A and B are shown apart, each in its own frame.
Chain A
Amino acid sequence: MRNVSIVGMGTTEFGVLDAGVKDLGVRAVSRALRSCDVNRADVDALYLGNFVAGILEGQENIAPLVADSVGLTGIPTMKTEGACASSGIALRQAYQAVATGVHDVVVVAGVESMTNAETTEFTRALNSAADTQTEGKTGLTFPGFYGLWLDRYMHEHGATREEVAAIPVKNRANGATNPRARFRDPIAIDDVVESRLVADPLRLYDCCPAADGGAALVITASDRAREFTDTPLSVLGSGHASGRSGAYRYEDLTTLDATVTAANDAYAQAGISPTDLDVVELHDCFSAAEIGDSEDLGLFEKGEGARAAAEGVTAVDGDVPINPSGGLLSKGHPVGATGIGQVYEACLQLLGEHENQVDGAELALTHNLGGSGAVCTVTVLGRDA
């Protein structure tokens, strides 16, 4: 296996962009190609993650469409789909192709356009990530899944609503200074606990907003990385696991085992432990998700995640900075673009160029989760190998 480096990156802002999935994909990929010294003739393949363009826009076959529009006609392309982890999977597949020597230079993208959709179409599309035969029929939504999660978590671990609310407050404060975030206004604990109930005990401000967006990377074998940039970053570990197909399938609903498995694989490959990490971008689609993810990733003991956020441990200047980008709660969740968007934010941290810079960040982790914990990718990133 060869070492793999990131040599280029590009993104749109995440928000209400009034653009379709093809245009957002083209913008992100073009920006990634322009960010480094890669000629189009160097690119061997394009992997693109997307979730709902087929349902919402009637637009499938997106990977070759984007490739043709950015001057990459002729190369092999493919779309990956794993709900909210769609582009995390794209990165994983591209990583494997480069690591095994199948390809030398691969463009990886994630893209989604959601805010133009009618509400009923939008919710139908998102709910398609759950098992429609069991939980879909029952009427469980994704906020509902995390409502169940949080109900059980508070019952078992005694976390308070106010402790949980510290997470959206932190992430909105971080998002306020991220020009790529959809929400850039800070909120207070009272705003969260007084906002309207969506899926008890989850409230409106516990939930991430939809967004449109695209993000892309150029990756290559590490021994070729300096042909394309003076500041390559290393993919030190990559994990990808599947998990349970519904809330009823978990023995312990508060542990989403796909995250544990993917993280352990990524840690082992990188030769690190969770305490070595300097900065983490994890899948905070809901406040409850950030609590669970932080524990499943091994950053905190079970039951300590909410308290850690309330005590400031996960702030940008805390011991375990989580989502200094503002996370999904601030950036928004353009589903298929989220995983690469997280990697983009982590790369800025490792380059020392982030608006909410963690001092001296050398080792970063990104965590992308899809469905009811049904699929997860974890990536460990470092400065140049």
Chain B
Amino acid sequence: MPAFPATECADCGELYGFPVVACRDCGCESFETRELDGSGIVYARTTIRVPGADHQGQEPFEVCVVDLADDIRITARVLDNPELGPDDSVQFVEARDGVFFFEAA
């Protein structure tokens, strides 16, 4: 089960799902990676059938807002599962080019 690479402020400990360059709370610019349990819960899901310019040919694909441990919420891709919806369980698979990919758990 891959762990999820969260970003932790080296100063105040604030946690982020997406990488950041300065802490929203304290302004610190140093961060460490903190591994979270990669299991998550879908908060909302859509299936993109008309993609933007950079995702042509990938459609249809699922984009979800996913809740992870420690109140981390991220926008992520879910692999080929248009049936997923709010409250369903998902598992982190990998981060690729700054995009987090999950699959149904």
| Residue ranges of A at the interface with B (Cβ–Cβ < 8 Å) | 120-121, 123-124, 127, 133-141, 143-144, 147-149, 151-152, 155, 196-202, 246-249, 253
Known pairs A133-B98, A138-B76, A140-B75; A148 contacts B45 (CB<8 A):
yes
Q: Is B50 part of the binding interface, using a Cβ–Cβ cutoff of 8 Å? A: yes
Q: Cβ of B74: which chain A residues have Cβ within 8 Å of it? A: 248
Q: Cβ of A143: which chain B residues have Cβ within 8 Å of it? A: 48, 50
Contact A141–B48 (Cβ < 8 Å)? yes
Residue of B nearest to A204 (CB): B50
Contact B77–A138 (Cβ < 8 Å)? yes
A133, A134, A138 pick with most chain B CB within 10 angstroms? A138
Known pairs A139-B61, A148-B63; A124 contacts B53 (CB<8 A):
yes
Q: Is B12 part of the binding interface, using a Cβ–Cβ cutoff of 8 Å? A: no
A248 interface neighbour in B49, B51, B73, B85, Cβ under 8 Å: B73
How distant is the Cα of A137 from the Cα of B76 in the complex, in angstroms? 10
How distant is the Cα of A113 from the Cα of B32 in the complex, in angstroms? 45
Contact B47–A248 (Cβ < 8 Å)? no
Chain A interface mostly: helix
Q: Cβ of B49: which chain A residues have Cβ within 8 Å of it? A: 196-200
How distant is the Cα of A202 from the Cα of B18 in the complex, in angstroms? 27
Known pairs A127-B53, A136-B52; A151 contacts B97 (CB<8 A):
no
Residue of B nearest to A249 (CB): B73
Contact B85–A155 (Cβ < 8 Å)? yes
How distant is the Cα of A140 from the Cα of B66 in the complex, in angstroms? 14
How distant is the Cα of A198 from the Cα of B99 in the complex, in angstroms? 22
Within 8 A of A (CB), among B40-62: 43-56, 58, 61
A148, A198, A201 pick with most chain B CB within 10 angstroms? A148
How distant is the Cα of A155 from the Cα of B42 in the complex, in angstroms? 12
Known pairs A199-B46, A246-B75; A253 contacts B65 (CB<8 A):
yes
Contact B48–A123 (Cβ < 8 Å)? no
A139, A149, A198 pick with most chain B CB within 10 angstroms? A139
How distant is the Cα of A38 from the Cα of B23 in the complex, in angstroms? 51
How distant is the Cα of A338 from the Cα of B55 in the complex, in angstroms? 28
Q: Cβ of B2: which chain A residues have Cβ within 8 Å of it? A: none
Q: Cβ of A253: which chain B residues have Cβ within 8 Å of it? A: 43-44, 65
B47 interface neighbour in A120, A155, A200, A249, Cβ under 8 Å: A200
Residue of B nearest to A201 (CB): B46
Q: Cβ of B97: which chain A residues have Cβ within 8 Å of it? A: 137
Contact B63–A138 (Cβ < 8 Å)? yes
Contact A139–B48 (Cβ < 8 Å)? yes
A331 CB to closest chain B CB (Å) equals 21
Contact B86–A134 (Cβ < 8 Å)? no
Q: Cβ of B58: which chain A residues have Cβ within 8 Å of it? A: 139
Q: Cβ of A199: which chain B residues have Cβ within 8 Å of it? A: 46-50
Contact B44–A134 (Cβ < 8 Å)? no
Q: Cβ of B75: which chain A residues have Cβ within 8 Å of it? A: 134-135, 138, 140, 246-248
Q: Is B27 part of the binding interface, using a Cβ–Cβ cutoff of 8 Å? A: no
Q: Cβ of A136: which chain B residues have Cβ within 8 Å of it? A: 52, 54
B31 CB to closest chain A CB (Å) equals 15
Q: Cβ of B13: which chain A residues have Cβ within 8 Å of it? A: none
B51, B58, B65, B97 pick with most chain A CB within 10 angstroms? B65
